[in-house]
Structure formats: C-alpha cells, structure tokens
Amino acid sequence: MGDSVDVNSQLVLAFIAAAGSNGCLNADLEKGVPDISNENRVAAINALITKRLIDIFQVGSKLGYKIKPQDNEPADLLNADTEEKIVYGVIKEAGNKGIWMRDIRLKSNLQPTVLNKVLKSLENKKLIKAVKSVSATKKKVYMLFELEPDSTLTGGSWYSDQDFESEFVDVLNQQCYRYLVELRHKHENDQSSTKKGPLAMYNLSSANCGQVCKFITDLGISKVPLSEEDIRTILDTLLYDGKVERKLTINGEFTYRAVNPLVSPPGLVMLPCGICPVISECHLTGNVSPFSCPYLKDWGSKPIIKVQREEI
C-alpha cells in the first residue's frame, strides 16, 4: 500500500510540476493520470500536501494544485509543525516592512491563542523577531530574524530604540548653523573677499549640503554616519527657524546661507505684556490686572529696556 502511494504521488507530482507555476485543475489531473483510481489519487495528493511539496488552491468552485516553490527553510523549521510553517511563510512574505499580528491572523486563519503560541515558539527559535514601529509605538510588527528593519519603521538616523533623539537633532541644528555663521563671518571680515564684490561674497558665504555634511562628519559628533539627505532635513529645520536662507542654484542643488532677521525684535515683546500668557484675561478689574501685575513690576525695576541685537 505504502509503495503504491509513493508511486502514485510521484506520478501526480510529475504532472503538477509539468503544469508549471500556474498549477493545474483537479479535472486536468484526472485526465492526466487516468490509470489511478480516485481514492488513490486523493491519498497521493494528501501525502504530497503533508510533505509540503504542493499547494492546494481554489479557482471558482474547482480545486487546483500547484507545485510549492522550494525555498531554503532554516533547519529549525524542518521539524516544526504545519502552523509554524504557515506563519513563518506569511511573515517572510512581508519582508523588512514587517507585518502586524492582526494581518497574520487574517492571512493564516489561525485562532489568536494558537497564533500567539506559534509566534512565541518561533521567536524562541530565533526565526522571527518583533519590532516596534516609531509611528505607532504600541503596535508590534513581526519580521524574519535576520532582516534589517526598514527606515520607515525605525525612523532613520534620528531614532534610537523607537525614541526620537531630539537632543541629537538640536545639537546638529546648532552645529550646522554655527558652520554657516562662521563661514559668513570669515568672508565678511576678510578684506580680499570684500574686494570681489557683494555677489561673490554672497556666493562664498553660502554652502551646499555636501559641504555642511563634510563639516559635521569631520566634527565627529555623530556615531551613526549621516547622509547628505539627513543633513538636508536638518538644514531645512534651520530654514524654518528663520536663521538661514535657501537658494536654488543653476545646477539644481540648494545652497544655504546664514541671514540676519529682517527686523529687530518688535516693541511688543520688549514689554511683559507681549509674552504674557494670561493677557487674554487681563482687565482693569479682576485677578489679572495691569495695576497688580507682578511681571510689570519686576520689569519696571530693571534698568535696560532695549538691547541692541548682536550683529552677525
């Protein structure tokens, strides 16, 4: 009996393999191997499925089979059970973007409790790993153990362990600004560049991403290598800080240059009222009033009112 199943399954497998990656329908199989009885054929197909040599699929109401692509599964998986293998397959498909537990459950049709057990055992075998995404810290996604998570999950250079490194960004922001300011200073105090005319000086005091990137790398403040793209995001924050100006050159790249603000601090902020957090509640009568205002009192007893802004 065992032998006949083996022989039959060889025949069936050969036929299905011949059908290629599109597989063949059950009816085709019946015609293709006519000398096997229905029961034997079913037994052979079942044997092949347990051995994970073929896959079964449905087209409309008809059943079809196709050959399962042979992949190099890790040795640990060989003696794992079917559920583990299925889950492993689903996770593998997701690549380095990872996949949520919910999506695994939908794809594999497993019960949550079973799935949990399977995932845990796979994790213990170091076949898969759970990675937290920066965009949604509470959701875990699974991916194969050996994969490097995608930058959308890790957030790129600015994240370490899902935490945004705001100090790191701030330091880089300051250093980039320092570089641009010093560049401008250097040329403004240099007599020879003054002679070249304002436009030449303008261009000399501008820098592109590459130059800034090189400066930052030379400083050695970053442990991770920073790309020009990373530096550009930092320079853009400076742009939105209003400290630098960006200009598109003929080559299609941006140059950045430190600028002075157009106006010195306006009169409003010289006065405590300009920065008062409760100004909307300030009335002549009431708890917040200009008569009893402690801010005004402190400010009134200090001598200097307007400090000239330092020239860059």
Partner 1 sequence: MSKPYGDLCSFLVKEHFGKAAQAIHKELRSGPKTYKLILSGSGLKSALVKRSLCILIQYGFVKFEPGNNPSIAEYTLLPDNIILLLRYPRYLTIISDKYGAVSRLIIETVLKNGSVPASKVILLVWNRIQAGSIENYKDGLTGVRDTFRQLVVKQYLMSVPCPSQEPNDRVPDLVVSETEQFCFPEIEASILLKMDKGEPVLPPDANIYWRCNFDQFHQNMRDHIMIEAIRNRVDGHAAKFMEILLKKMYLRTEAWATQSNPVPIIEIKEETEKRSPHLTQYLDQYIKIIDEDSCKFIRRTGEGMSGSVYINFVDAFRSLTSATVESIVEHRFGAKSARIFRLVRSKKYIDQEQLQKIAMIPDKEAKQLTYKLIQGSFLHMHDLKRSSSAGPNKSFYLLHVDFNQVVHVVLDMCYKAVYNTLARADHQFSENIRLIEKFEKLNTIANNMRTQGEDPQYVAQLLEEWITPPEKTLLTTVEAMIEKLRLAELYLDETIMVLQLYAYYDTASMKEKPRS
Residues that bind partner 1 (CB under 8 A): 135, 158, 164, 166, 169, 173, 197-199, 202, 233-234, 236-237, 240-242, 245, 247, 259-271, 273-275, 279, 282, 284, 290-291, 293, 296, 299-301, 303, 305-306
Q: Please, which residue, 89 or 155, has the CB nearer to partner 1?
A: 155
Q: How far is the CB of 305 from partner 1 (least distance, A)?
A: 6
Q: Please, which residue, 1 or 305, has the CB nearer to partner 1?
A: 305
Phi-psi region of 245 (alpha: psi -120 to 50; beta: other; left: phi over 0): beta
CA distance 23 to 33: 15
Q: Please, which residue, 2 or 303, has the CB nearer to partner 1?
A: 303
What's the longest Cα–Cα distance across the chain? Answer: 108
Q: Please, which residue, 120 or 186, has the CB nearer to partner 1?
A: 186
CA distance 13 to 65: 10
Nearest to 165 by CA among 138, 140, 137, 134: 134
Contact indicator for 70, 41 with CB cutoff of 8 Å:
no
Q: Please, which residue, 38 or 308, has the CB nearer to partner 1?
A: 308
Q: Please, which residue, 127 or 153, has the CB nearer to partner 1?
A: 153
CA distance 263 to 246: 19
Contact indicator for 140, 101 with CB cutoff of 8 Å:
yes
Q: How far is the CB of 122 from partner 1 (least distance, A)?
A: 31
Q: How far is the CB of 208 from partner 1 (least distance, A)?
A: 17
Q: How far is the CB of 14 from partner 1 (least distance, A)?
A: 49
Q: Please, which residue, 33 or 239, has the CB nearer to partner 1?
A: 239
Q: How far is the CB of 260 from partner 1 (least distance, A)?
A: 5
Q: How far is the CB of 109 from partner 1 (least distance, A)?
A: 23
CA 65, chain centre distance (Å): 38
Q: How far is the CB of 27 from partner 1 (least distance, A)?
A: 40
Q: How far is the CB of 80 from partner 1 (least distance, A)?
A: 38
Instruction: Count how many Cα atoms sit within 13 Å of the Cα of residue 52 in the half-sphere of its side chain.
Output: 16
If you count them, how many residues does the chain have?
Answer: 312
| Phi and psi angles of residue 142, each rounded to the nearest 5 degrees, phi first | -110, 145
Close Cβ partners of 312 (under 8 Å, ≥ 6 residues apart): 181, 184, 185, 258, 260
Tokens of 103: 């999506």
Q: Please, which residue, 74 or 272, has the CB nearer to partner 1?
A: 272
Angle between helices 82-94 and 101-108 (to 10 degrees): 120
Question: Is residue 234 exposed (0-12), middle (13-18) or buried (19+ Cβ within 10 Å)?
Answer: buried
